[in-house]
A and B are shown apart, each in its own frame.
Chain A
């Protein structure tokens, strides 16, 4: 796996991390039946941070970020997103979901709607935007992810990389405060991984708060300001990328890194 993900220099002028807390997770626990998937998670994400969560499969990293917009329900502890606490109150959940964008491993575009309709659906129905405005916003973001010419096609007619970029544009159309990425490149061909990562880098350059579960260590090294390593449902190690990769502290991290970077 190559470490270099982009040839150009990353523009860090707008990558500012403010003191404002975007996501606050304290003493969070979660079980699937009897299985304790997330144990005592404490995490604070400030506005503008770009966090990469990595770890072996089954370590609970996806579950963690899915708790942030309550695709999974946590049983103990506190999650506060953008000042709103996640509880069983449906109003809060809807509010948080409309502020937090998410991209999935399998894109999850709506196959019965065109690309443009995929992008305008939520703004029209959740934000109550006028159709014309929603379409303008959608085209703006489709241009940003460099596929405005595909607007009238259906997802099934696009390549995987294009679909994932549409998925990113679809989330951006809701003008989210925070973006969650759940292994966005894991089901893509190598050629297409780059185009998706480029889009994510551009997003980071604009100062978006991002939490990414990914195995792209090059991306982690160059774009993230913090890397979190999880194993068996716990946060094992947490550090700046340079320190994390060059000088891992725990044995578990060393093993993981040697396996993932070794070939």
Chain B
């Protein structure tokens, strides 16, 4: 019989890793040419890339940027891209029919957009959240113009109602529900009786005006950005509320949320856009007329809110029930535990789905061309109808596609960064 007793006397030294783990050549050998199948796949993939790019790169790289019409392009060299159309019409593709001398307004709005999303996207600047709250009103005023006071009065109405809530809560010690009711009443009272005198007074005392731009003058990428970002900003909170409502114990709330989600998800977006452009005015009381862009934003918002709700519900369902129990056992109220425990985790789980919905929404904004709003796709058709550019296909759509790709890719990159940053375990 052999002796199975063994005692290690000294620990083994650490050795450097094998060549396949450390050098570039090792990496290539291990990952690209590790066997005949992988070698074959590598060669095939390289060949595939070659086929895809061998015509596209010379076509795009040698593109003609200076011709005045497609005729000129074809006369010079019919085998390269005719990017001249973009040179001639880029302003339209970006701004639609927005007046040239007012271009600073959408550009400023665009720059301010980045300022306003920083507090939302980065924890370091979270204390500047008020900028994000001011931004929507400011953007509306900058883009559509007119007097600043009607927009300002909306904010004032909210301040007024917040004040009502605060006084009811802290001076008269009313319950939260009652205080909320007072807040709503003060909002309505302000709007019915105080808003219009206030606006006319300040229009008279301190007229701050910008040239009014009609909604039909909006177009191009500007329009996509307006609809896309308003839709994203509004559908996110609505989606969260719908997801919570769908999980609610209150049967009526649950029924309304389920009904809404299932109905909206079951209807194509185009139908909703047609409703927005044609039908909505029939249902509204006579005399009220909503701006077409606002109507479209509402429809896009409710459409993606329904999807958002389902994505977030997935995140909620993935949370172990223990998280609810632990937060309840510590004495946190329903809303506290949703805000502090449940939602941060559920949203983190659903980041890929949420961004997916955002990207989908952003690209769906091109559907508004069907109801004759001039988004980039609508404009592309219009430009192609012009005598100078009749017959141009690829160049315009490549350009439009590129604009959308940059935005969507940016969103996707941010979401991946966020996922990495929010990772809190070792795996």
Contact = CB atoms under 8 A, between A and B. Distances in A.
B348 interface: yes
Contacts of B328: 71, 97
Nearest to B422: A112
A71 B337 CA distance: 14
B331 A126 contact: yes
Interface in A102-149: 102, 104, 106, 108-112, 121-122, 125-126
B425 A94 contact: no
Interface string B333-363: 1001000110011001000000000000000
Contacts of B340: 121, 125
A122 B331 contact: yes
Interface stretch (B58-66, B140-148, B277-285, B318-326): B318-326
Contact of B332 (A102, A108, A122, A154): A122
B330 interface: yes
Interface in A80-101: 94-95, 97-98, 100-101
Given A112-B348, A125-B340, A156 B330 contact: no
B325 A104 contact: yes
A61 interface: no
B424 to A, nearest CB: 4
Contacts of A125: 332, 336, 340
Interface residues of A, number: 27
A101 B326 CA distance: 10
Given A71-B325, A106-B322, A108-B326, A157 B331 contact: no
B340 to A, nearest CB: 6
B426 interface: yes
Contacts, number: 71
Given A112-B424, A125-B340, A156-B426, A102 B329 contact: yes
Contacts of A171: 329-330
Contacts of A227: none
B331 A174 contact: yes
Contact of B330 (A95, A98, A155): A98
A121 B322 contact: no
A97 B331 contact: yes
Contacts of A155: 424
Interface string B410-427: 000000000000101111
A170 interface: yes
Interface residues of B, number: 23
A104 B425 contact: no
A108 B325 contact: yes
B336 A108 contact: no
Contacts of A122: 330-332
A69 interface: yes
A94 B331 contact: yes
A121 B422 CA distance: 19
Contacts of A121: 330, 332, 340-341
Given A110-B341, A111-B424, A71 B329 contact: yes
A104 B331 contact: no
Contact of B326 (A94, A104, A156, A174): A104
A11 B182 CA distance: 58
A121 B339 CA distance: 12
A157 B323 contact: no
Most buried by A among B320, B329, B348: B329
A156 B424 contact: yes
A170 B425 contact: no
Contact of A157 (B320, B325, B336, B426): B426
Nearest to A157: B426
Residue of B322, B323, B325, B344 ringed by the most chain A CB atoms within 10 A: B325
Nearest to B323: A108
B410 to A, nearest CB: 25
Nearest to B334: A90
A112 B422 CA distance: 8
Nearest to B325: A71
A86 B328 CA distance: 15
A104 B323 contact: no
Contacts of A94: 331, 333
A106 B320 contact: yes
A202 to B, nearest CB: 21
A263 B330 CA distance: 38
A156 B422 CA distance: 13
A104 B328 CA distance: 12
Contacts of B427: 156
B315 to A, nearest CB: 12
B345 A112 contact: yes
Contact of A154 (B325, B345, B424): B424
Contacts of B425: 111, 154, 156-157
Residue from B322, B336, B344, B424 with most neighbouring chain A CB atoms (10 Å)? B424
Contacts of B345: 110-112
Given A121-B340, A125-B340, A110 B331 contact: no
Interface of B: 320, 322-323, 325-333, 336, 340-341, 344-345, 348, 422, 424-427
30 contacts: A94-B331, A94-B333, A97-B329, A97-B331, A98-B331, A100-B329, A104-B322, A106-B322, A108-B322, A108-B323, A108-B325, A110-B323, A110-B326, A110-B327, A111-B345, A111-B424, A112-B344, A112-B345, A112-B422, A121-B332, A122-B330, A125-B332, A126-B330, A126-B332, A126-B336, A154-B425, A156-B424, A156-B425, A170-B330, A171-B330
Given A110-B327, A112-B422, 14 more contacts: A95-B331, A100-B329, A101-B329, A102-B326, A104-B325, A104-B326, A106-B320, A108-B323, A109-B326, A111-B424, A112-B348, A125-B340, A126-B331, A157-B426
